[in-house]
């Protein structure tokens, strides 16, 4: 009905949220995860309120080690099929574009001088949608860490998925620190998406939430700032937490995410489809 008037189509908004919150954390419908598979200990660290927001403690139905990947896999295939249909049957006449919106936090190495923490940040960013859409295959980090629990694309599916977008929508709000941790290798089958990347994510470093650091810079000589009735010659920028315990203002992260996407994924067209902060 509106095809000739709508010029930008998004197939799915935040497939990560469907697959991970619904099938790893068990917080969103259908509230599935394996017993213990949604625990944050080790892989995640943050405030108690943040942990309660993420985890459904009563979730004992499902498999946090396989279902998030299967759901994500089929979301990718569904998206790609919709793109193929639009391109074959509608795009030439309607002259529109079609894409998908992906959400991410920017990952900052916990120790910026640590090569392992830098690799951990890269792994956290690599999981799990952009690389298949770009190349038709899952990133090597996922193949290495998830192994046979990771679904595989057939040759035909890979061709369908690769390049299945005219643009990427970016949903960005905040960032996290990423630290390398030893992968669980105890021989048990208690796998979970939340532990597979072998990354510890935290919003807090040395007691200070990310984005809440104080940055000092010398003011221009002509500028004097009145602070509690005292004139000072030092500018103070304090970035504060918002009304949500998970959302810390980290504006440079959106720029870093765009640069990362440009360099790693062949400079796709990107639209900022979500961004902002709570009061």
Residue 55 has pLDDT above 50, yes or no: yes
* Closest to 101 in 3D by CA, of 278, 268, 279: 268
Residue 67 bears catalytic tag:
no
Instruction: Evaluate whether residue 239 is within a structural domain.
Output: no
Instruction: Evaluate whether residue 45 is within a structural domain.
Output: yes
Residue keyed to tokens 């796709």: 268
122 CB-near residues (< 8 Å, 6+ apart): 107, 141
Residue 95 bears catalytic tag:
no
Residue 127 has pLDDT above 50, yes or no: yes
Instruction: Evaluate whether residue 144 is within a structural domain.
Output: yes
Instruction: Evaluate whether residue 241 is within a structural domain.
Output: no
Cite the beta strand spans of 37-148 per DSSP E: 44-45, 97-109
Instruction: Evaluate whether residue 230 is within a structural domain.
Output: no
Which pLDDT score is estimated for 183?
A: 85
Rounded-to-integer distance, Cα 146 and Cα 195, Å: 10
Structure tokens at 42: 């080790």
State the catalytic residue, choosing from 67, 88, 274, 279.
Answer: 274
Q: Which domain holds residue 256?
A: 8-207+250-275
Encode pLDDT of 259-270 as tens digits. 999 999 999 999
pTM of the model: 0.85
* Closest to 153 in 3D by CA, of 98, 87, 84, 80: 80
Instruction: Evaluate whether residue 170 is within a structural domain.
Output: yes
CATH number of the domain at 188, please: 3.20.20.80
Q: How far is residue 105 from each of residues 84, 230, 257, 264, measured CA to CA in Å?
A: 29, 39, 8, 16
Instruction: Evaluate whether residue 3 is within a structural domain.
Output: no
Which pLDDT score is estimated for 239?
A: 47
Encode pLDDT of 56-78 as tens digits. 666 779 999 999 999 999 999 99
Encode pLDDT of 103-113 as tens digits. 999 999 999 99
Angle (CA) 41-119-162 rounded to 5° is: 100
The upper half-sphere exposure of residue 245, i.e. CA atoms within 13 Å in the direction of its Cβ, equals: 11
Q: Which residues pair with 241 in a beta bridge?
A: 248
Encode pLDDT of 12-36 as tens digits. 999 999 999 999 999 999 999 987 7
Q: Is the peptide bond before 216 cis (omega within 30 degrees of 0)?
A: no
Instruction: Evaluate whether residue 217 is within a structural domain.
Output: no
Encode pLDDT of 221-252 as tens digits. 433 343 333 444 444 444 455 666 678 899 99
Name the domain count of the chain.
1
Report whether 275 contacts 106 (CB < 8 A): no
């Amino acid at each position: 009905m509106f095809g000739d008037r709508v010029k930008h189509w998004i197939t799915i908004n935040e497939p990560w949220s469907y697959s991970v919150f619904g099938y790893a954390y068990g917080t969103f419908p259908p509230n599935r995860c394996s017993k213990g598979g949604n625990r944050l200990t080790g892989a995640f660290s943050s405030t108690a309120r943040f942990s309660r927001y993420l985890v459904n403690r009563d979730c004992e139905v499902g498999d946090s080690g396989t279902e998030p990947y299967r759901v994500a896999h089929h979301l990718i295939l569904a998206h790609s099929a919709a793109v193929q249909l639009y391109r074959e049957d509608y795009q030439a006449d309607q002259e529109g574009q079609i894409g998908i919106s992906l959400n991410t936090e920017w990952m900052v190495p916990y120790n910026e001088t640590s090569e392992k923490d830098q690799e951990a940040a890269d792994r956290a960013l690599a999981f799990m949608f952009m690389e298949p859409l770009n190349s038709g295959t899952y990133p090597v980090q996922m193949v290495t860490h998830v192994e046979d629990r990771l679904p595989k694309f057939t040759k035909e599916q890979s061709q369908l998925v690769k390049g299945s977008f005219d643009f990427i929508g970016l949903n960005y709000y905040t960032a996290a620190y990423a630290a390398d941790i030893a992968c669980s290798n105890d021989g048990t089958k208690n796998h979970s998406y939340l532990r597979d990347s072998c990354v510890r994510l935290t919003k807090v470093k040395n007691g200070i939430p990310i984005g809440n650091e104080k940055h000092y810079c010398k003011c221009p000589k002509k500028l004097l700032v009145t602070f509690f009735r005292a004139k000072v010659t030092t500018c103070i920028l304090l970035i504060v937490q918002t009304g949500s315990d998970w959302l810390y203002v980290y504006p440079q992260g959106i720029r870093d995410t765009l640069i990362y996407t440009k360099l790693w994924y062949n400079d796709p067209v990107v639209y900022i489809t979500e961004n902002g902060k709570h009061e």
